[in-house]
Structure 1
Amino acid sequence: MELNDPTASALYEAVVRSGGDLVVGLDFDGTLAPIVEDPTQAHVHPDVPDLLVALADRVRGVAVVTGRPVRQALALGDLDQVGTRIAERHRSFIVLGQYGNERWTAVDRRVVSPRPPAGLAGFLREVPSLVRRADAADAYVEPKGLAVALHTRRLPDPVGSFARLLPLVADAATRHGLAVEPGRLVVEVRAPGMHKGLAVSRLAEEWSAKGFLFAGDDLGDVEAFTELRAMRDDGIATMAVCSHGGDGPEELEEIADHVVDGPEGVVDFLKGLVADLGPQAG
């Protein structure tokens, strides 16, 4: 696959050379699935299931690392069936949900999850007041078990509503000892201490990665991209791919090694990667 930028091209070639020692990590929303007004309808691109199987055949392991609960990602991406197909090939596939707090593997096929964070129940009791104060009473509130997300995409003034809501949510989350994760017209509140950078680091160690490629689209992926830079300094071939869907954060693009056009661009990029990796591993 030809990349226009010489630096990105060199990084890509190094990742391809890592081949059977390569780990591929992928965000879900905005990367494998389009951003939609109703997050319960964010189904993956139709080519994703077969593509994940093809990738798993050629690399050390494939992981979906998402802010969603694992069970949502499994359902919306048909990832349970993907896992079955990958396990039958004796290859490795993991889904990490809620930024790495939840874990599901194609072998164990059960969700391992901690208890909800202290303070979340108290924060949830404040949510109706917060959205009213922000003049965003119709914001979509999405409980996630270990977290809660507040979406303004459906509102008449989604950007203005988000701008008003974010500082109020951040203040309340701090009082309850919780972390705040702003995204594309969504703000998520969850337990501190876990993020995608830590999830990427643990996957690299677990799978003894000599190469790591990660694709993401939002602020929650910044830590993952940053971790890839640190891994590169330690001699691991890495590449950060930004899925740009039109309203993604500039911060992520600035630290990305390569930018593609939304989930369609991610799929095309991964198809090229599969082709360049060559025949499946034995």
Structure 2
Amino acid sequence: MEFTSATARLRYDDIVAVVNDTVVALDFDGTLAPIVGDPAKAHIHDDAPDLLVELAEVVRAIAVITGRPARQALSLGGLDEVGVRMGETGRELFLFGQYGNERWSSTKRRIISPRPPHGLSSYLRELPGILRRADALEAYVEEKGLAVAVHTRRLPDSEAAFDRLLPLLRDAAARNDLMIEPGRLVAEVRATGMHKGIAVHSLVDELGAKGFVFAGDDLGDLEAFAAVAELRDAGLATLLVCSASPDAEGPEELLDLADVVVEGPDGVLDLLRQLRADAR
């Protein structure tokens, strides 16, 4: 792992000092799971389940905060079973799906979810025409129940297609009182009023955490990064981790805020192993 400054190294040491009262929160895609062309085929790193259970022995709680639907993340990550195993250590696993709109925990074991936002059905009706206008009919449309994501990663010129689509999708979202979240060759439209930063604050308030670690890789994690920075200003020990691509590239907004830059899910797991070792 690569600390971004001497201050960042001290922040890691501060986390180690309060590790038993620290919440470790992780994004799913690009952080726990490698990015793949077909989102339905994404699976968390093979080493992640065992490591998360081991880490749970030394921290206050572990959370996964993702844009994916909670049920999908549970299935692809095998997180239900991970939560059962954590329960044996007396620790809890939290899952916030669809940017915090859905919530699950390993103790209550049921998904709490609101109704789909107003305007989403109208947006879906507009979408085929938008894809046609952008010459992107083969883009992958992922309906999540509470949101709709459009992926261009499968298209021959994926970046150009994304650049054509984004303004059209943004306009359609605005017409239907929805918000848009651009990411790496994906644009997700969902209801306003909820984001990952709210999930971060709720975890700290509920658990009385003295430390907070968050790892993410894309613009959808920016609100979580901002929330952790607010907690730092309020006196909590914090650590922000950017999971970058193999060439060390990531969104500049995250890189500017990160204390640690690691190389994808492999690097995230290496950092968690180190944290567990240093907590002994």
Instruction: Give the aligned partner of residue 73 of structure 1.
Output: 73
Corresponding residue number in structure 2 for 1:155? 155
Moved over 2 A (4+): 1-5
Counterpart residue identity of residue 106, structure 2: A
* Partner of residue 87, structure 2: 87
- CA-based RMSD of the aligned residues comes to 1.2
C-alpha distance in structure 1 between counterparts of 2:150 and 2:171, whole Å:
15
After superposition, the C-alpha distances for 1:228-261 in whole angstroms (9 at most, x for unaligned) are 1111111000110000014531221111111101
Residue 270 of structure 2 aligns to which amino acid in structure 1? Answer: D
How far does residue 2 in structure 1 lie from its aligned partner after superposition?
A: 8.6
Report the counterpart of residue 114 of structure 1 in structure 2. Answer: 114
Give the Cα–Cα distance (whole angstroms) in 2 for the partners of residues 134 and 191 of structure 1: 24
Match of 2:34, SS state, is coil
Residue 273, structure 1, aligned to residue 275, structure 2: yes
The 1-side partners of 2:253 and 2:35 are apart by 18
Counterpart of 1:255?
Answer: 257
Matched, 1:62 2:58: no
Q: How does 1:149-188 map to 2 (within 5 A)?
A: 149-188=149-188
Once the two structures are overlaid, the 10-residue window that deviates more, 80-89 or 114-123, is 80-89
Paired amino acid for 2:100? G
**Counterpart AA for 2:209:** A
Task: Give 2:70's aligned amino acid.
Answer: V
Contact 1:119 1:178 in 2 (8 A): yes
Cα distance in 2 for partners of 1:203, 1:61 equals 9
1:173-196 Cα shifts (integer Å, max 9, x gaps): 011010100000000000101011
Number of residue pairs the alignment of both structures matches: 278
Question: Per-residue displacement from partner, 1:129-162 (whole Å, max 9, x unpaired)?
Answer: 1111111110000000000000000000100000
Counterpart residue number, 2:212: 212
The answer as to whether partners of 2:64 and 2:94 remain within 8 angstroms in 1 is yes
Deviates more, 1:52-61 or 1:116-125: 52-61
- What is the percent sequence identity of the aligned residues? 60
Instruction: Say yes or no: does 1:223 pair with 2:223.
Output: yes
Task: Name the aligned partner's letter for residue 145 of structure 1.
Answer: G
* Structure 2 counterparts to residues 92-103 of structure 1, below 5 A: 92-103=92-103
CA distance in 2, matches of 1:143, 1:2: 37
- 1:4 Cα shift? 7.4
| Aligned mates of 2:196, 2:114 — CA distance in 1 | 16
Q: Give the Cα separation in 1 of the matches to 2:267 and 2:252.
A: 18
Gaps of 5+ in 1: none
Aligned residue for 2:127, secondary structure, equals: helix
Secondary structure at 2:118's aligned position in 1? coil
Aligned to 1:139: 139
Deviation at 1:18, TM superposition (A): 1.0
Distance 2:101 2:2 in 1: 36
Q: TM-score, normalised by structure 2?
A: 0.97
AA in 2 matched with 1:183: G
Alpha-carbon separation, structure 2, partners of 1:71 and 1:116: 15
Residues 2, 9 of structure 1: 8 Å contact kept: no
What are structure 2's unaligned runs of at least 5 residues?
Answer: none
SS at match of 1:33: coil
